[in-house]
Amino acid sequence: MPLDKKTILTAVKEAKGNSGKRNFTQSIELILTLKDIDMKSPEGRIQEIIELPHSMPNKQNKICVVASGELALKARKAKADMIMDKGELEGLAGKKQELRKIANKYDVFLVEAPLMPLVGKILGPALGPRGKLPIPVPPAADISSLIKKHRRTVRVRMRNQPILQCRVGTEDMKEEEITENIQAVLRVIEGKLKRGIKNIDSAYIKTSMGKPIRIKP
């Protein structure tokens, strides 16, 4: 099923047009149903972090950085939403409720590489089920650029069914920007499927409170 820009743009306009007025900014979601997928193969366990070309001003990812020393200072300067050092992380060991709160509150966890084993041990049990695997960062990395990049990433994760869903925009964004975000997601997903676009059975766009609109090839 060809999903060209014009086809996607038409569906985006219809989804936005039918969503109705709400007292909050609605998200726009992309839903893909796949076919002919072996759920036990790597393509049946898709889990990707995809950088979108256009950020969502009202829905930017909240970033937690686990780091020490210079990297932590740079993360603070780059306005990470939370910075946690080794001591603070160790202080959370065994505190399941606090760990769950942190795992729910932040979308992306950037971790100074040497601290990865500790993060895996302490935070891992809370992050794993939520699909928020920590991302290792070399101590000399440009943390500012990484924070900026991950503000506009989305996680695409296949669970027990051949369905993928992720946020691709908000209703206050330009329709062309939402369309380009959708195309970015599709390019990555196609690359992970054995038959590419032929493995996509159907694609829908929906606003938070609106009905799904099929992208008709």
Does the pLDDT value for residue 59 go beyond 90?
A: no
Q: What percent of the chain has pLDDT over 70?
A: 99
pLDDT bucket at 146, cuts 50 / 70 / 90: very high
Q: Top-level CATH class of 63-150?
A: alpha beta
Side chain identity at residue 89, one-letter code: L
Buried b (16+ CB within 10 A) or exposed e, 121-155: ebbbebbeeeebbbeebeeebebeebbeebbbbbb
Q: What is the pLDDT of residues 192-207, one digit of tens each?
A: 888 888 889 999 999 9
Average confidence (pLDDT) over 50-59: 88
Q: What residues contact 151, with CB distance under 8 A and at least 6 apart?
A: 55, 60, 61, 63
pLDDT bucket at 84, cuts 50 / 70 / 90: very high
pTM of the model as a whole: 0.85
- Across all residues in the chain, what is the average pLDDT? 91
Q: What is the pLDDT of residues 115-127, one digit of tens each?
A: 999 999 999 999 9
Average confidence (pLDDT) over 61-78: 95
Instruction: Return the beta strands (E) in 19-150 as ranges.
Output: 27-34, 47-51, 63-66, 82-84, 108-112, 135-137
Domain span(s) for CATH 3.40.50.790 in the chain: 63-150
Does the pLDDT value for residue 78 go beyond 90?
A: yes
Q: Which residue has the higher pLDDT, 7 or 59?
A: 7
The gap between the terminal CA atoms of the chain, to the nearest Å, is: 6
Q: What is the pLDDT of residues 166-194, one digit of tens each?
A: 999 999 899 999 999 999 999 999 988 88
Tell me which architecture the domain covering 5-58+153-214 has in CATH: 2-Layer Sandwich (3.30)
Q: How far apart are CA 207 and CA 217, in angstroms?
A: 20
Does the pLDDT value for residue 1 go beyond 60?
A: no
Q: Which residue has the higher pLDDT, 93 or 196?
A: 93
Does the pLDDT value for residue 2 go beyond 70?
A: no
Radius of gyration of the chain (CA): 19
167 burial level (CB within 10 Å; 0-12, 13-18, 19+): middle
pLDDT bucket at 24, cuts 50 / 70 / 90: confident
Domain span(s) for CATH 3.30.190.20 in the chain: 5-58+153-214
